Amino acid sequence: MKIFLDTANIEKIKEAASWGILDGVTTNPTLVSKEGKDFEQVVREILEVIKGPVSLEVVSTQWKAMVEEAKKLRTYGENVVIKIPMTEDGLKATKALSSEGIPVNVTLIFSPAQALLAAKAGAKYLSPFIGRLDDISSYGMRLVEDILTIVDNYGFNTEVIVASVRHPMHVLEAALLGAHIATVPYEVLKKLIKHPLTDIGLERFLKDWEKMKK
């Protein structure tokens, strides 16, 4: 399973990239706005570090404006993926962009039917938001399971990005289901590394080594 980092913070991206496990980055207008920098500066800093897919989201809501904005975003780099919301205009924009070979990540997916339509429109990536479903007492990972079944049934050339990840178990469940990608907040990614028995074992090894030296 590929791991993307869900952030626009360049320091967190650099740190996660140094671990050798990062495959890409996803951003959105909210994440970019938190950085307190010019949008172009944020994007160029990210693209200097990440050579895999980097998702940048349009803010337009009308499909022709989405397409125009998407083409401007693609000028930043060939690895830029365009995030498009799952709306009627979003589907039109996805079809137009994918027809020109521009990869699209359809975001804010909350049902299998939405995922099916996005895949048919040519989406390269489908982003079901599992955490937000969990927040309203729905089972987000069931949505991922259903989408994966649909993709497999019809051989769509698309990858499922498990998004709105809240905790390490979301990542583990995504991997067990066979999701192609999980896009993970930095804090959750760090938690995946940690285990108390690892810490205890390392501490014990070091103490034994000190005893041996004495």
CA 68: distance to chain centroid?
Answer: 23
Detail the DSSP E strand segments found in 7-150.
24-26, 54-57, 80-85, 104-109, 125-128
- Marked catalytic residue, from 83, 95, 191, 211: 83
* Residue 64 designated active-site: no
Q: For residues 87 and 14, what is the distance between their CA atoms, to the nearest angstrom?
A: 33
Please tell me the number of Cα atoms within 13 Å of 213 on its side-chain side. Answer: 6
- Phi/psi region, residue 108 (left: phi>0; alpha: psi -120 to 50; beta: rest), is left
| Tokens 């990210």 -> residue | 46
Q: Catalytic positions, please?
A: 83
